[in-house]
Amino acid sequence: MNRRSFMTAAAASAFAPALFTARATAEAAINYDAIAALRSGLNENTSQVMSTASYMMDVLGPRLSGSPGIRKSADWVVGKMKEWGLTDATLEPWPTDPTGTNNGFPRGWANRKFYLAAITPNAFPITGMSVSWTPGTKGLVSGECVLVTELDEKVLKEKYAGKLRGKWILGQTPTVMRAQWDPVAKRYTKEDLDALEIPARPPETGTPPATPPSPPNLQAVAQANARNAWFFSEGVLGVFATNKGHGAVNVQGGVRTDLPDQQIPRINIEAEHYGRIARSVQLGQPVVIEADIQNDWFDNPEMFNVVGEIRGTELPSEVVIIGGHFDSWHAATGATDNGGPCAIALEAMRLLKANKTPLKRTVRVCLWNGEEQGLIGSRLYVAQHFGGGRGVPAPGNARGNIVPIKREHSRFQAYFNLDNGAGSIRGIYAQSNAAVAPIFRSWMEPVRDLGMTHVSPRNTGSTDHISFDNAGLPGFQFIQDPLEYEPKTHHTNLDFFEALQPEDMRRNSVLLATFAMLASNHPGKLPRKSRPPAETPPASPTPSQGP
């Protein structure tokens, strides 16, 4: 996450009178009876959040963007929202892409079959999965493993030319494993949360500025691509790679524009299995592996976001949005990233509807597609509905140009995102919005016993609220207990239903429903951050009109 200080002490003191007034106004508008009714979601006998999560993860499976799996899951979710009485429940198509690349998804992909095993000198199954958007094998194949760690193409040709056909490539040295000395699962302590409420200190006088993050090593990426292309020309069976360890395999995606018949199979396998194979090869013992992997490709898959809403009674054209990203990676079922949070958002909507919660503004749930590939679904949605952010891609500009602000921009109230695993909500990041912090603190008072107690002034990034924040709209992400998210379940083969904690899921459903209701019924518009002039998009030529 990207976190930074939001104001100096002097600037904060200047806000104090306004912040006090904002909090008093927010407290006066809190409907305690409605919050008490929403707490029915804490009852394990009546809550549906775990059954929703189980069906999504156990029955429907992973939701890789552009795959049949995500469409199947989305259709089921739309059916549930209609069953609960939500309105306008639908799959909202992404806008047309003028570049002809389907907004970055010229091809969909799905793994249909994965079999991988060592057959000599000892037989054992190998845990792993294909990197998405890479091909499988042509039926059942077998071959010997060769350890190739050289990167320079000239060296590769001199040493291996004509010697790799029908071989499996071990493309790196074995991982040096360390014991997991610290507990894998963690919850935030009060001290941890208190620290998040303090803005990051600016550099002291004489302290050199922090070193900016290094840009991607494009040369290394190009070198790796060239190496794989050369392996393909040499007729290798595939390339194995590894990461994490302790049973976890991080499996993400390849290049979505590459043609399947012009690249080699790439497979990530468990570090312990990889190490056993690689060390055997280093000891001079040949290892033969067989595989039968089938990966399917789909041209120009239908791309969409999943939406549904409860119409407001007084200001229906003004909107509060809750949600998170619907897509997942494919090595497991995407429970903590991000199916569990999606089930929480859906349960929050069910609670609001079932309890006839009074809502002045419309509350909408949006479950995003393409988050893992760069917040694509939420970015396109914001550009299409509100403006102010980056639009659809344009020739020569993959992320598109700034879209003029639309009338709906002024009618937007807030977006609340859930995508830090499935741990219990402990607070919220104010995203450098000083004026909104006291309002959030007042909203937490009736639910402090559920563990939500802190507002951090800091920014956090890397997920869909950024699409709103970049467009000048109030977008927020919750502070959540990390649990086992890192290093165990995030983008790994271990991200299954079992990683979800039922009590955390029920609490989060109530907390998200409560914040949605309070934002919907807030007496005025929630404060927004001022935007630097360079980032302020031009105003729409369309005059502002009423609802």
Residues 68 and 138 in one domain: no
Residues 292 and 311 in one domain: no
The β-bridge relationship of strands 361-368 and 288-299 is: unpaired
Give, in degrees to the nearest 5, the angle at Cα 346 between 343 and 347. Answer: 85
1 part of a folded domain: no
Instruction: Please state the three-class secondary structure of 449-494 as a single string.
Output: HHCCCEEECCCCCCCCHHHHHCCCCCEEEEEECCECHHHHHCCECC
Residues 86 and 144 in one domain: no
Residues 132 and 100 in one domain: no
545 part of a folded domain: no
Q: Which residue segment(s) compose the domain that 489 sits in? A: 9-105+301-530
207 part of a folded domain: no
440 part of a folded domain: yes
Residues 340 and 241 in one domain: no
485 part of a folded domain: yes
Residues 380 and 417 in one domain: yes
Residues 336 and 463 in one domain: yes
Query: Could you give the C-alpha distances from 463 to 76, 100, 338, 370, in angstroms and in order?
Result: 24, 26, 11, 11
547 part of a folded domain: no
541 part of a folded domain: no
186 part of a folded domain: no
Instruction: Quote the number of domains for the chain.
Output: 2
DSSP element (H, E) containing 304? strand 304-310
Residues 223 and 260 in one domain: yes
CATH of the domain at 288: 3.50.30.30
Decide which of 281, 297, 313 is a domain's last residue.
297
CATH of the domain at 66: 3.40.630.10
Residues 316 and 464 in one domain: yes
Residues 335 and 260 in one domain: no
Residues 241 and 166 in one domain: yes
Q: What is the pLDDT along the chain (547 residues), one digit of tens a residue?
A: 333 333 434 444 444 555 556 666 666 679 999 999 999 999 999 999 999 999 999 999 999 999 999 999 999 999 999 999 999 999 999 999 999 999 999 999 999 999 999 999 999 999 999 999 999 999 999 999 999 999 988 999 999 999 999 999 999 999 988 899 999 999 999 999 999 999 877 767 665 555 555 666 777 778 888 899 999 999 999 999 999 999 999 999 988 988 888 899 999 999 999 999 999 999 999 999 999 999 999 999 999 999 999 999 999 999 999 999 999 999 999 999 999 999 999 999 999 999 999 999 999 999 999 999 999 999 999 999 999 988 888 777 777 888 999 999 999 999 999 999 989 999 999 999 999 999 999 999 999 999 999 999 999 999 999 999 999 999 999 999 999 999 999 999 999 999 999 999 999 999 999 999 999 999 999 999 976 444 444 333 333 333 3
Residues 371 and 318 in one domain: yes
Buried b (16+ CB within 10 A) or exposed e, 92-129: bebeebebeebbbbbbbbbbeebebebeeeeeeebbbb
